[in-house]
Structure 1
Amino acid sequence: MDGLQILPLAITMMVGPQIMSAIIFVTAPRAVRVSLGFLAGVAIATTAGVAIMLGIATLLGSAVDFGNSSDKGSAGKVVQYLLVGLLAAAALKNWLGRETIEPPNWLGTLMSADPKRAFTIGLMVILLMPSDLVVMLTVGVNLEHSGAAFAEALPFIALTVLVAALPLLIWLLFGQRAEAAMPRVRDWMNTHSWLVNIIVCVIFIVIILF
């Protein structure tokens, strides 16, 4: 997988409650320790998730013929079109319900999290998020189709963790200015969660189609 493939996938892994969690942790007490616990959870969850999805892709590859990627009538293309339809419907639903959509309630409890809870959250926001499961399955299928080893997914895993670490890195580099800006970014994402969801859907559609 080259950089043009893994960059949008890694960004999509962290768009939504995932990056919102990372931002909240840098505005919490003991920000560095808590954020490092979160990043450890993200790293382990992403590594395990890709390994599991590669195993699933390998099993599916031996049981189902997805056909040639240039064949618009192949089983693989049909699955892609169904995914695009579902994502478009999800984006439309978020747009129509934008006045009432709110972020998950558990995000509000993260300010008091300790490193252990942050680690658990890091695991959960990767392994329990349907969007991330689809991304990791995409990576697994890509590896299986190209006959690549699991090691080929390491740049994707590293880039995902780097994206997750951006709030902490910005906080460390820019100090007080970042400390003042992060709560505003957090509040904006809380009030515009519907827009974040739509962006995730659009990114997925672009990845699937191109």
Structure 2
Amino acid sequence: MDGLDILPLAITMMAGPQIMSAIIFVTTPRPVRVSLAFLLGVATAVSAGVAIMLGLGNWLGSSIDLGDPDDKGSVGHIIEYVLVGLLIVLAVKNWLTRATAEPPKWLGTLMTADPRRALKTGLLLILLMPSDIVVMATVGVHLAHADANYAQALPFIGLTVLVAALPLLGLLLFRRRAMSAMPKFRDWMNSHSWLVNIIVCGVFILLLLL
């Protein structure tokens, strides 16, 4: 996977409640400890998730010929087209329910999270979030389709963790400005969660089709 592919994929992995959680954690009383625990959870979950999906992709490839990566009609590409269809359905659903869309209520409880809760949040957000499962499945299928090994996924894993770390890095580098800007950005994302979800679906669809 080249750089043009992994950057949008990594951003897609963290868009939505994932990055909102990272922003909330830097506004807690112990932002550094809590945020580092969250990043550990994200790194562990992404690493495990990609490994599992690559294993499934290799198993699928040994059972079914995924075809030539350059062949747009190959089984591997057909699987990606199915994922595109699911994302379109999800985007339409977010648009139709935008008037009543609200961020998950559990996000509000993260303000009092300790490192253990932050670690658990990082793990569960990646391993249980449908959009992240789709992204990791796509990475796994892509690698299996290209007969690549797990090492080829390390840039994607590292970049995903880096995106997750941006709120903490912003706090450490621009402390006063970050402390003022983060709550405003958090509130905007809370009120526009439906738009964030649609953008994520759109970016991912483009990645699959290009």
Counterpart in the other structure of 2:190: 190
- Report how far residue 151 of structure 1 moved: 1.4
Counterpart in the other structure of 1:23: 23
Counterpart in the other structure of 2:44: 44
Which residue type is aligned with residue 53 of structure 2? M
Which residue type is aligned with residue 83 of structure 2? L
- Report how far residue 67 of structure 1 moved: 2.7
* Structure 2 residue 168 is the aligned partner of structure 1 residue 165: no
- Report how far residue 126 of structure 1 moved: 0.5
- 2:69–2:146: 8 Å Cα contact kept in structure 1? no
Please identify, of 148-157 and 71-80, the stretch whose mean Cα deviation from structure 2 is larger.
Answer: 71-80
Please identify, of 71-80 and 172-181, the stretch whose mean Cα deviation from structure 2 is larger.
Answer: 71-80
Report the Cα distance in structure 2 between the residues aligned to 1:2 and 1:64, rounded to whole angstroms.
26
User: With structure 2 as the length reference, what TM-score do the two structures score?
Assistant: 0.95
- Report how far residue 107 of structure 1 moved: 0.6
Q: Which runs of 5+ in 2 are unaligned?
A: none
Counterpart in the other structure of 2:84: 84
Counterpart in the other structure of 1:209: 209
SS at match of 1:62: helix
Q: Deviations over 1:37-75 (max 9, x none)?
A: 000000011111111111101100001123334544433
- Report how far residue 194 of structure 1 moved: 0.2
Q: How does 1:44-123 map to 2 (within 5 A)?
A: 44-123=44-123
Counterpart in the other structure of 2:14: 14
Q: Deviations over 1:161-185 (max 9, x none)?
A: 0000000101111111110110000
Counterpart in the other structure of 1:35: 35
Which residue type is aligned with residue 154 of structure 1? L
User: With structure 1 as the length reference, what TM-score do the two structures score?
Assistant: 0.95
Report the Cα distance in structure 1 between the residues aligned to 2:77 and 2:144, rounded to whole angstroms.
16
Q: Which runs of 5+ in 1 are unaligned?
A: none
Q: How does 1:145-184 map to 2 (within 5 A)?
A: 145-184=145-184
Report the Cα distance in structure 2 between the residues aligned to 1:70 and 1:22, rounded to whole angstroms.
38
Report the Cα distance in structure 2 between the residues aligned to 1:127 and 1:45, rounded to whole angstroms.
6
Q: How well do the aligned residues superpose, as a CA RMSD in angstroms?
A: 1.3
Which residue type is aligned with residue 174 of structure 2? F
Q: How many residues align?
A: 210
- Report how far residue 148 of structure 1 moved: 2.0
Report the Cα distance in structure 1 between the residues aligned to 2:74 and 2:158, rounded to whole angstroms.
33
Report the Cα distance in structure 2 between the residues aligned to 1:74 and 1:4, rounded to whole angstroms.
23
Counterpart in the other structure of 2:144: 144
Percent identical among aligned pairs is 69
- Report how far residue 117 of structure 1 moved: 0.6
SS at match of 1:157: helix
Counterpart in the other structure of 2:132: 132
